[in-house]
Structure formats: C-alpha cells, structure tokens
Amino acid sequence: MFLIKVLTFNPVQENTYILYNENKDCIVIDPGCYSDEEKEALKSFIDKNELQPKLLINTHCHLDHVFGNKYIAEAYQLTLQIHKNEEAVLQMAPASGLMFNLPFDNYKGELIFLKEGDIVSLGEDSLQVIEAPGHSPGSICFYCEKQKFIIGGDVLFYQSIGRTDLPGGSHEGLIKNIKEKLFVLPQEVKVYPGHGPATTIGDEIKYNPYLI
C-alpha cells in the first residue's frame, strides 16, 4: 500500500510528493525543493524513514516543480521520467527561473518518457498514467485505482484549475481533459494537487466554479 507524504516548497508553495511502501521503497514526484534547507528537508524525510528512492517523476516541468530534479537524481542515481511533450518545457525552466530571480541548476541527464495508459510500479503497488494537457503541453496525472487517489499536478485544484496562459497552455483543452479524464473517476477519489489542499473528484464536480 502507498503511504503519501507531502512537502511544500519554494516561493510558489509547490507540493512535492513522496509515495512509499512497506518495503521502504519510494517514488519522488515533482521535487520543488529550491533552497539548501528545502533540499535537506526532503532528504531528511527519506533518510529518517530509511526509504530508498526508486523513481523520479514530474507531472509537468514548470520551474516550480523541477527545482530539485538534479539534486534528487544525483543523490539517488535516478533517471527523470516525464511526458515527451514536457521536454522543451524542462529545457526552458532555467530561463524562466532567471525571469523570477530564481536561478537553479537544471536536470540534464537522460529521460524516460511516459504516456497515456503506462503503469508506474513500486513493488506490488501501481499508478496509471493519465494524459491531461492544458496547463502545460504534456501534463500527466498518476491514478491509483486500488487506493482511490490521484496525483494531479497543476491540472485540478481545490475549487480551481491550472492556469493556461503559459506557453503550450490551452484553456479549452484543460477543461475538456478534466471532464473527460478525471471527472469519470469515482467521486470518492482523493485529488492531491500541485498546490494547495487535497480535494475529491466528487467535490470538484459539485463545487468547482470553473467546471460547473
């Protein structure tokens, strides 16, 4: 069974997720740790719980979600996994960082590409990849059918949705994907977003002002 730890990092208050199991293996999703203190906080949780990171994944590659990619990849000898359509976004991230006075060393290693329907496994537990572009060109979510939760990145928030005014964004596409890919999931599915508090599919169907 997956256990989920959320750590909130950087000036944009991005949610970094660590999914781990009883075997003490873990997946790091969207390491947004920027400062040395934040990187240490992430590493400290891993070390204190005697976890062994097996996978490094980005839901998408906007700079606030990728600050810690290089650090985690080098610390645990991991290859970053993203959607193919996020490769250019990842490459642009350092330039975006300079615009916001947030310079950082970007991940420059090999990439493993994920697509719709792929299964990401950690021992006996698994996540299904759901493509949901609109906030970014290659946004992906990770759905655990067994435990009824989804790691959604910046696709769907508590009573909100991801912004679509950045390069590669599409408001129409985002709305379509939320309704056709996420709102068809069971209403009790818990949504862990890239920013802010968790919510559920059912609550967003009923109360999200952008989707009613």
pLDDT score at 189: 98
Mean pLDDT for back-to-back runs of 10 residues, the chain (212 residues): 98 98 97 98 97 98 98 98 98 94 96 98 97 98 98 98 95 98 98 98 97 90
Task: Indicate whether 13 belongs to any domain.
Answer: yes
Task: Indicate whether 89 belongs to any domain.
Answer: yes
Neighbouring C-beta atoms of residue 25, cutoff 10 Å: 16
101 in helix, strand or coil?
A: coil
Cα–Cα distance for residue pair 70/104, rounded to 1 Å: 10
E-strand ranges in the chain read 3-9, 14-20, 25-29, 52-57, 80-83, 111-114, 119-122, 125-131, 140-144, 149-153, 156-157, 160-161, 190-193, 199-200
> b/e map of 63-98 (b: 16 or more CB within 10 Å)?
bbbbbbbbbbbebbebebbbbebbeebbebbbebbe
Task: Indicate whether 188 belongs to any domain.
Answer: yes
Q: What's the first-to-final CA gap in the chain, in angstroms?
A: 34
Task: Indicate whether 75 belongs to any domain.
Answer: yes
Query: In residues, how long is the chain?
Result: 212
Task: Indicate whether 17 belongs to any domain.
Answer: yes
Cα–Cα distance for residue pair 9/67, rounded to 1 Å: 10
Task: Indicate whether 212 belongs to any domain.
Answer: no
pLDDT score at 17: 98
- Per the structure, the count of domains in the chain is 1
Cα–Cα distance for residue pair 6/17, rounded to 1 Å: 5
pLDDT score at 187: 98
* pTM for the structure as a whole: 0.97
pLDDT score at 212: 85
pLDDT score at 36: 97
Name 80's bridge partners.
Answer: 56, 111
CATH code of residue 49: 3.60.15.10
Q: Domain containing 34: what range?
A: 3-207
